[in-house]
Structure 1
Amino acid sequence: MNEGLTYRDAGVNLEAARAAKARISRLVRGTRTDAVSSDFGSFGGRFRPTPGRELVASADGVGTKLKIAFMADRHDTVGADLVNHCVNDILVEGARPLIFMDYVACGVLDPDTVTSVVSGLADACRANGCALLGGETAEMPDFYAPGEYDLAGFVVGEIVYPELSRRHLEPGDRLIGLASSGIHTNGYSFVRALFFDRLGLGAHDAFPGAEGSVSDVLLRPHRSYLPILERSLEAGRVRALAHITGGGIPGNVDRVIGSGLDAVVRTDRWPRPHEFGVIARESGADEAELFSTFNMGVGMVAIVREEEVGRVLDEIRGARCEAFVCGELVAGSGRVHLEGS
């Protein structure tokens, strides 16, 4: 029996992250102006520049998934990871993207690598209907190891689905899980500790029990849910969304349900993708650790009225994404309960 690996073992302290956020929230709130319409901790910051218009902005990175791109010498997917992650975050707030900007920093600038990264950014921007407006490429000798770089992105969109930010939810609303394309962009410190340190695999070795290499599986791009949910959103069938990123299902669904409701998530309602089965078996981690670290096969949760479930499922599946009813809202105090594991 393996000793169970935890995210903290891999170097990520979620408690410290929560404590830091709690401490900086007062500083951030101290800069608030009358035009700010969201609170600290939202998936994206909402801002009203003029009456009748509301913008949403968000920033993110790719995290240590970049380390796998370095190992595999494959740089054309991480740009799509970044754009799609940011687009999903502002979609939760009801926005479509308008512009995207990037920041690439390296020790020694390699034109081929930077071009490959930006090609991924540009392809994803086109797919999501936003302009790659510009960015910054910083060459900082001695700051990064040879062959390594960091990547961050910034998106601005406009609210076109205002019902998502209103979040008028009630007991009996159903949770629909939208399948992820893989691990997306969270949990990679855990993943690297498991596959490369504990199992001794290389980026080009076969992934256990699957076709393709370790890097093929681990570099699968983060999925954008904007085109997948477009029909349901245009029809006003979705009451709220939760993007399943750091913190997993428990740490993201609780951000949108409010203080008077609980979410009951039935984890046996969807097939667990192969890579998460391998992570569970080889790490020995318990279900609580896994579900607070990874998306576990669900990249977005849509909250809908019971009578809209059938149509929303049909529309999502018609956009070539698997979806499943995975729970419901009940009266409560803002907690997420995992059942069925």
Structure 2
Amino acid sequence: MSINYKDSGVNIDEGNAFVEAIKDEVKKTYDKNVLGSLGSFAGAYALPSGYKEPVMLGATDGVGTKLKLAIESNKLDNVGIDLVAMCVNDLICNFGIPAFFLDYYATGKLDKLSAARVLQGIVKGCQEAECALIGGETAEMPGMYQGKDFDLAGFAVGIAEKSHLNKNQNIQKGQYLVALPSSGLHSNGFSLVRKILFEVLKKDFNEDFDGRALIDVLLEPTRIYVKLFKQVQNHIEGLAHITGGGILENIPRIFPDHLGAVVDKKSIKIPKIFQFLAQHVETEESFRVFNMGVGMVLVVKPQNLDFILKNTDGYVIGEVVDTHKGISLE
């Protein structure tokens, strides 16, 4: 008896057909620095000119258990945007300009239509982030994933001037914290979200929440801040991506050791979904798990504040202080 790979649950032909089907979609993200074509062993990208001392930066992330809600509701079109966002938003916090992106899609049995929907979201995310999707991996792993389950991982590479890597050392007492609004929950805290809404409160995906289906509110794609960063990078001293750990743990990551900040929580424009969730979570825990409506925090000198407020949708939520106690919510 002869057994082939397909008998074990892996269809090589299906994987090859998927790669062929997505090539034109992926090419929408290409720029002049992309070398070669999709399907090689590695993607190639020419180092952009104009840098004095270019440094390469890398960031990787996933979508977390937000992905489970997307799978259960069959709303797969935006999780690719989330994947790109979580990676490129980290890169800009080190003053890196995203150059290219790679993705990893692992599933038990490849569904070309579902995978294509996810890929189209990744393409949209890369276009918004102005980076090229130069490669990826689609893995069929029967026995590792059940039913329609799949997982995603993303990898972004960017370039920065070496002198900008330590720009946060210019952060000083008296500078302002400017919040850039999030588009919603982004891609953090969903294990707690799922427990509150669907285990404890027994909510339904299609239940109305502030004029929208609850599932659509939850799956609103993560905002990508790359274009805005390019506009303001010369007018800020630092920026923090508010992901897992929330405002309390992410802002201190960019401060010199002797500095902290006071945040006026009454000044934060908290969307209704966070207000609802916060009824079931202690205040400090809410600000540690969720972004509470703040997707990114900029550190701005007083003389640059007017420029930032006029050229972004940001608003002041606090200021830098001389303390070793991290972030104080008042």
- TM normalised by structure 1 equals 0.79
1:278 corresponds to which letter in structure 2? F
- In structure 1, distance between residues paired with 2:105 and 2:231: 34
Q: CA deviation digits over 1:187-230, x for unaligned, max 9?
A: 000000011111111222223xx111111000000001111232
**Could you say if the C-alpha distance between residues 328 and 302 of structure 1 is closer, same or farther in structure 2, counting changes exceeding 3 Å?**
same
Q: CA deviation digits over 1:18-48, x for unaligned, max 9?
A: xxxxxxxxxxxxxxxxxxxxxxxxxxxxxxx
- Corresponding position of 1:237: 235
Q: CA deviation digits over 1:220-267, x for unaligned, max 9?
A: 00001111232211xx11000000000000110010112111111111
- In structure 2, distance between residues paired with 1:287 and 1:65: 22
Q: CA deviation digits over 1:128-182, x for unaligned, max 9?
A: 1111011100001121120110000000000159546421111101100010000
1:185 corresponds to which letter in structure 2? S
- Corresponding position of 1:177: 179
- In structure 2, distance between residues paired with 1:330 and 1:129: 35
- In structure 2, distance between residues paired with 1:128 and 1:57: 15
- Corresponding position of 1:30: none
- Corresponding position of 1:304: 300
- Corresponding position of 2:74: 73
**Could you say if the C-alpha distance between residues 52 and 96 of structure 1 is closer, same or farther in structure 2, counting changes exceeding 3 Å?**
same
1:254 corresponds to which letter in structure 2? P
What are structure 1's unaligned runs of at least 5 residues?
1-49, 317-321
Q: CA deviation digits over 1:241-294, x for unaligned, max 9?
A: 00000000011001011211111111111221010011112x1x1110100000
- Corresponding position of 1:252: 250
Contact 1:174 1:329 in 2 (8 A): yes
Matched, 1:216 2:216: yes
- RMSD of aligned Cα (Å): 1.5
Matched, 1:333 2:324: yes
2:319 corresponds to which letter in structure 1? E
Q: CA deviation digits over 1:41-81, x for unaligned, max 9?
A: xxxxxxxxx98220110100000000110111011101000
Contact 1:263 1:329 in 2 (8 A): yes
Contact 1:60 1:82 in 2 (8 A): yes
- In structure 1, distance between residues paired with 2:105 and 2:216: 23
Contact 1:96 1:160 in 2 (8 A): no
Contact 1:163 1:240 in 2 (8 A): no
Contact 1:92 1:164 in 2 (8 A): no
What are the within-5 Å matches in structure 2 for residues 110-259 of structure 1? 110-160=111-161, 162-163=163-164, 165-167=166-168, 168-207=170-209, 210-233=210-233, 236-259=234-257
2:310 corresponds to which letter in structure 1? D
Contact 1:243 1:252 in 2 (8 A): yes
Contact 1:164 1:239 in 2 (8 A): no
Contact 2:53 2:161 in 1 (8 A): no
- In structure 2, distance between residues paired with 1:161 and 1:178: 26
- Corresponding position of 1:59: 60
1:174 corresponds to which letter in structure 2? Y
Matched, 1:262 2:253: no
- In structure 2, distance between residues paired with 1:122 and 1:291: 31
- In structure 2, distance between residues paired with 1:336 and 1:253: 8
- Corresponding position of 2:14: none
- Corresponding position of 2:283: 287
2:84 corresponds to which letter in structure 1? V
Contact 1:184 1:221 in 2 (8 A): yes
- In structure 1, distance between residues paired with 2:167 and 2:201: 46
Q: Taking every aligned residue pair, what percent have the same amino acid on both sides?
A: 39
- Corresponding position of 1:278: 276
- Give the match's secondary structure for 1:181: coil
2:308 corresponds to which letter in structure 1? V
Select the structure of larger CA radius of gyration: 2
Contact 2:54 2:161 in 1 (8 A): no
- In structure 2, distance between residues paired with 1:174 and 1:58: 27
- Give the match's secondary structure for 2:126: helix
- In structure 2, distance between residues paired with 1:254 and 1:334: 9
Contact 2:108 2:150 in 1 (8 A): yes
1:128 corresponds to which letter in structure 2? A
Runs of 4+ in 1 over 6 A off after TM superposition: none
Q: How many residues align?
A: 279
- TM normalised by structure 2 equals 0.82
